[in-house]
Amino acid sequence: MVAPDYDIIMGVMQRRRSVRRYGRETISDALLDKLLRAAELAPSAGNLQARDFILVRDPNTKHELAEAAYGQFFIAMAPVVLVGCANIARSRIAYGQGAELYAVQDATIAACYVQLAAEALSIATCWIGAFDEKRVSLALKIPLDIRPVLMLPVGYPDESPEPTVRMEPSRFTHHELWSSLDV
């Protein structure tokens, strides 16, 4: 079967790496707009699009974010940091108990789209999940019913990391029922 789109999207996914060193060059607003256009296209629960991004360019704020991420100071070296937030308030419009989990999923899949669009534009990102949520909320004045769930430092790459090891699909695929696999 000829499926050039599959080859294209797989090529982008295979090239993407977590990059933790960035060049000094800034990322233009036009390029950031392209990344956010990708976020816009992501699926979301009930199409409520219960995710928001905070764009941070201010060096002091980036430093605070790096500190909140337990001293991952490479974050502050990126020209832009996108903070992906689960907008639980928006999700609650339609969902009660499920709102938080849906909003978290909306935020994470949108950030995934951003990462892939960035790769397609030769822009580097690194998913940051290890941070003190309260500190980030305080630094960015995020209200209580919105949760920062990830950060993406965004910049031009200044390193070319080797690919990391992956499990074969047979190690993480179960057929019909859960089957006990090795951890």
Ligand X SMILES: Cc1cc2nc3c(=O)[nH]c(=O)nc-3n(C[C@H](O)[C@H](O)[C@H](O)COP(=O)(O)O)c2cc1C
| Among 47-55, 79-87, 96-104, 120-128, the segment contacting ligand X (CB under 6 A) | 120-128
| Among 2-10, 42-50, 93-101, 125-133, the segment contacting ligand X (CB under 6 A) | 125-133
Nearest residue relative to ligand X (C-beta): 129
78 in contact with ligand X (CB under 6 A)? no
| Among 3-11, 34-42, 91-99, 123-131, the segment contacting ligand X (CB under 6 A) | 123-131
126 in contact with ligand X (CB under 6 A)? yes
Quote the least distance from Cβ 123 to ligand X, whole Å: 14
Candidate residues 164, 170, 179, 180; the one interacting with ligand X per rule CB under 6 A: 164
What gap in Å lies between CA 101 and CA 7, rounded to an integer? 32
Joined tokens for residue 45:
């629960």
Q: 49, 90 in Cβ contact below 8 A?
A: yes
127 in contact with ligand X (CB under 6 A)? yes
Q: Closer to ligand X at the Cβ: 74 or 140?
A: 74
What gap in Å lies between CA 173 and CA 65, rounded to an integer? 36
Up-side HSE of residue 75: CA atoms within 13 Å toward CB? 27
Candidate residues 128, 136, 146, 154; the one interacting with ligand X per rule CB under 6 A: 128
| Among 13-21, 55-63, 82-90, 152-160, the segment contacting ligand X (CB under 6 A) | 13-21
What gap in Å lies between CA 74 and CA 120, rounded to an integer? 22
Q: Closer to ligand X at the Cβ: 52 or 119?
A: 119
- Residues in contact with ligand X by CB under 6 A are 17-18, 20, 72, 126-130, 161, 164
